[in-house]
Structure formats: C-alpha cells, structure tokens
Amino acid sequence: MADAVRDLYSQRRYPALSHPETHPGVIAAAARCGGVTAPALPESCKLLEVGCASGHNLLPLAARFPESTFVGIDFSDTAIRRARGHAEALGLDNITFEHADLHEWRPASEDFDYLIAHGMLSWVADATKVALLELVQGSLAPDGIACIGYNTLPGWSLRQEAAAMVKALPDLGGDLDTTLATLAEAASHGGTPYTAHLAAIYEDMRRKGPDILPFDELGPVCDPLHFGQVIQWTGQHGLRYLGESTLSGNLPPEIAPEALEKLQPLAGDPVRFQQTVDLLSGRTHRTSLFCRSGLSLDTKTTSSVTLHFAARLLVRPLPEKAVHGEIIEHFHAALNAAWPSSQAVAGLMEQCARRLGPRWDPARGAKTVADWLYQAARLGWVELRTDPIETATRPSSRPTLSPLNLRHARDREALVDGFHRSCGFPDRHWRVVGALDGGHTIDDLRALAATEAPELDLEPWLQHLAARGLFIQQ
C-alpha cells in the first residue's frame, strides 16, 4: 500500500463509524430485488469486512447475529488491537479481527456470503485497488454479494478541486475549520449556482471536521471514479453489477420522474444509463453490489419479492399523491402505526386485510402492495430489509444501552442504533449517556442532566433514543 496512506493510518485513528448501507439485512434485500434468488440471511451468514478499522461497523452485527461468522481485516495493528479488545470484553466468539496486508492476506476459512469494502476503492493506490478486487474474486461464495464503496465522477470533480485548494492554503486564517469557513463565506457572496454549490461543499467539509477529512477529501489518495470504469474493473475480475446497496440508491432523489422518462432510450444499456444518472444528479458516492458474473439472476419477480421483507417508513408524512387507492391507504396506515419499527410485510398485510374485511382480495391485495412497496423503496420513502427491528416509542423506567454501546459511551465514541446508524453526542452529554446503564431511574438521569447538560431536554431526548432502537427491550 502507498506509504502515505500507511503513514496516515499509523499516525491517526480512523473515526469510529457504522455504515447502515452495509448491513447484511439491507444488502440482502437489495440483492434479492436485483435478481439474486437466495442471498444469505444475516441470521446465518459469513461476512468479511476489508478495512474494518476498530470494528465499529462489525461488532454490532456480531452481537446481534450470534449464529453468523464475521471477519475483519485492517493493516492498522492499533485498530485491530482495539477491535479485539472490544470483542473479548463482550465475549463475542463469532468474530475475528486480523492485522493484514491486503497484498498478501488470504482467508483460511470458506468463501464469504458478504464481502464489505466500504472505505477503500477510492482511497488506496492503484495496486491495492487490484488487490482488493482479486480478494473479492477469490473469496466470494458462489452466490455471495460484494458491497464496495467509492467516490463517483463527475459529481466529485468540483469537490476534488475544492479540497486541493484547501491543501494549497494551509495558512488562510489559521486552523482547518477557519480556512474552510473563510472559503465557504467567500464563495457564498458570488450569487451564482456555481458559487452556492462551492460554498455548500466547503460547509459539508466543515461538518465532517478534522477527524474525518484527513481520510476523505484531504486523504493522501482520493480517486473519484466513473461508474463505467468501476464496471470495467469488476468485470475483469469476474464480477457482475447488481445495483446499489439500497434500492433508493439506484435512482438518486435529484432525478425527477420526468427526467427518467427522457432516459428511457438508455434502458437497454444499464451502464450508460447509470453514468448518465450520475451526471444529472451530481452524485458523489456509490455503495455498489456485485455478484459473480456466472450467477443466474431472476429479475422478473422484482416487486413480488418485497412481500418477504420487513418495511419501515422513512418519510413521514408521505407526499399526498403517494398514497392512493383503498388498499394502499390501509397498508400505509399499518406502516405508519408500526413506525419507528421495521415490521414484516406479511404482518402489515394481515393488518391491512383486517381493516378491509370482506373487501380484501388476497391475490389483488398482495400484488398492489408489492408493486407499491417496490416503488416506494426506490423513491426512498420506505426502507426494505430482511430482518424486522422492534423499537419503542418511550424508554423504560431505567433506560439501558447494550453492553457494546456502553463501552462506546465510556470511550466517547459514536453509539450504533438498532438500524446500524451512528449516533454521536456533544461533549457535555456523554456523562448522561454513560449513565444509561439500567442502574439509573429517569429521575436520576434528570438530576444528572441538570448538572452536566442543563440545556438537554431529557424526556424528548430519551424518546428519540428509544425510537432509534438504542435501548434494550425490557
């Protein structure tokens, strides 16, 4: 690996983050809609993460799915030691962390159902890109799924130039944040769409902050890639593109339905279609799914397979025209009542059938719901996954985080919620977060918050954490 990249990871610790789009329950749903007839379920799978850092993305999966096997590799021995320490302290015997050089390491176990490389392809030297794809080619199970993240062109091009300018102006106002703020303000006075876009890029870089930027825009290697180039490389390594890791990722929200109609002549050329979508949307990142090129796919039952998933509303309320007809009205009501949980579609349909009574026609109802769910997921209104997730609308009398999240709270690292999303807190809130150990009543927490974080409105805050699935159900 390039010395500059190795030096960066040896000198600085990669931020502790989870990546919800890499959750095997989300990947399995997207892969099934992409035509993979039997993707492994997260409850019983073998998963490898390349570039696992300190294990923040893998550890919650290992804790939740004890019958599955997880392997994480990273060339930072410091990060691997930290990951192993967490796994050992929590008694997780279904996860292994290995200090490894991607150019030399090969797994000793069987092929993997899932291989995740979220933060690699755009951030490593060309030789390591090849090594990654060779590992995928040699380690993926016959019907396995690879999930690979990378920055995309042309959307990343202005960001690339903006980052280069930051590197060239180290003394503009002092620290990094001041430099970014100065450039953002200067751009904002331009009054044109271009300067507004540039200002937004610098503000986004400010939000990432000094912990993430050295690994991202300001990294020693940051190669944005055209979608077509990625397809060419993966094809050379026996891989076939399935789609993005979430259904909504296939059609970014910036693309209007009218624009998609104009692109219909490209329907027979999916690579050119997707590259055009990237151009029109300005997309800057993809998390793409790949299978072996020889795997037989069934794309004819795309919408009907959604009946086997769990669903959760992501947009509340939905656009007025999104809910139409009696069947969808009642199904949407069931979805809305289940929020914030992700519930099995079959159970939601049963509720819909009860609401409709004798007017429910099973065949017609199932098709109507399946078609609507698929389109709603593609538009980002609904999340589909293979594993239901139950959350609460209110915390218990003694709110309790998982043992893993209590360790993260102790170290002031982002917690990971029930949907595999990272959850950070201001510095003054961490002592209150650390007290969510089941040993404190809400009155105790209220008194602690009054001292440590008087601005914290405790009850709504606890309800928010409960809705995110952060508390152990008691």
DSSP string for residues in 365-382: HHHHHHHHHHHHHHTTSE
Instruction: Give the global pTM.
Output: 0.95
Angle at 162 between CA 161 and CA 163, to 5 degrees: 90
Alpha helix positions (H), 12-72: 24-33, 59-64
Q: What is the pLDDT of residue 451?
A: 95
The b/e string for 233-264 (b: 16+ C-beta within 10 A; e otherwise) is: bbeebbbbbbbbbbbbbbbbeeeeeeeeeeee
Neighbours of 126 (CB within 10 A): 10
Residue 124 structure tokens: 């490593």
Q: Which run of H or of E encompasses 337?
A: helix 325-338
Contact 474, 396 (CB under 8 A): yes
Inter-residue contact 448 to 440 (CB < 8 Å): yes
Q: How does pLDDT run across 304-319, given as a tens digit for each residue? A: 999 999 999 999 999 8
According to DSSP, the β-strands at 415-416 and 422-423 are antiparallel
The Cα–Cα gap between 392 and 233 comes to 45
Chain centre distance of CA 314: 14
Question: Cα 365 to chain center, whole Å?
Answer: 32
DSSP H or E segment with residue 467: helix 458-467
For residue 171, what pLDDT is reported?
64
Strands 239-244 and 285-292: antiparallel
Query: What angle, 0 to 180 degrees and rounded to 10, lies between the N-to-C axes of helices 176-188 and 193-212?
Result: 170
Give the Cα separation of 251 and 260 in Å (integer): 9
In order along the chain (474 residues), what is the average pLDDT of each group of 10 residues?
69 87 97 95 97 95 98 93 96 96 86 93 93 96 97 96 88 79 93 95 94 90 95 97 95 84 89 93 96 92 91 93 93 95 96 93 94 94 96 92 96 96 95 97 96 95 96 85
The pLDDT, as a whole number, for residue 173 is 60
Closest Cα to residue 346, out of 334, 364, 358, 336?
334
pLDDT at 6: 75
| Range(s) of the chain covered by CATH 3.40.50.150 | 3-154+224-292
Task: List pLDDT tens digits, range 221-236.
Answer: 999 999 999 999 999 9
The DSSP string of 421-435 is -EE---GGGHHHHHT
Give the pLDDT score at 330: 95
CA distance 375 to 322: 10
Is residue 109 within 8 Å of residue 136, measured between CB atoms? no
The residues, any chain, with a CB within 8 Å of residue 237's CB and separated by 6 or more, are 133, 134, 136, 137
Q: Residue 218 half-sphere exposure, CB side, CA atoms within 13 Å?
A: 20
Q: Report the CATH number of the 3-154+224-292 domain.
A: 3.40.50.150
> Quick one: DSSP state of residue 396?
-
The predicted structure's pLDDT at residue 172: 60
Give residues with Cβ within 8 angstroms of 169, minimum separation 6: 179, 183
Helices (H), 123-175: 126-139, 157-168
What are the tokens at 435?
A: 């007290």
Q: Answer for the pair 407, 90: CB distance below 8 angstroms, yes or no.
A: yes
User: What is the predicted pLDDT for the residue at 53?
Assistant: 92
For residue 392, what pLDDT is reported?
A: 87
β-bridge mates for residue 49, sequence order: 72, 116
